Amino acid sequence: MFRFRVSMNLTSANKLKMPVLAMGGDHSTGGFLGDHVRLVAENVTEIKISNAGHWIAEEQPAQVQQGLLQFFLAQ
């Protein structure tokens, strides 16, 4: 039942139109996060934070800050 609902929602729902940021550490979600977000959003910016796992803001704060700044300035 749950799998059916997920596939039904992904195929029948409209994708998000607004800019969406997918930011993840390359030792964690960075390898696939952008692909997953593109399932539900059209305008996706993907940023992979190098040498980071799950806690990107603690592990690489300068990279996260730079990524956020670039994303928001581009909007």
Query: Can you give the pLDDT at residue 4?
Result: 66
Provide the Cα torsion 11, 12, 16, 21; round to 10°.
-20
Q: How far apart are CA 65 and CA 62, in angstroms?
A: 5
Is residue 39 within 8 A of residue 11, CB to CB? The reply is no
At 61-75, the pLDDT tens digits run 999 999 999 999 998
Instruction: Give the model confidence (pLDDT) of 19-60 as tens digits.
Output: 999 999 999 998 899 999 999 999 999 999 999 999 999 999
31 φ, ψ to 5°? Answer: -75, -25
Tell me the C-alpha distance between 57 and 33, whole Å: 16
Query: Taking 70 as the threshold, does the pLDDT of residue 9 lie above it?
Result: no
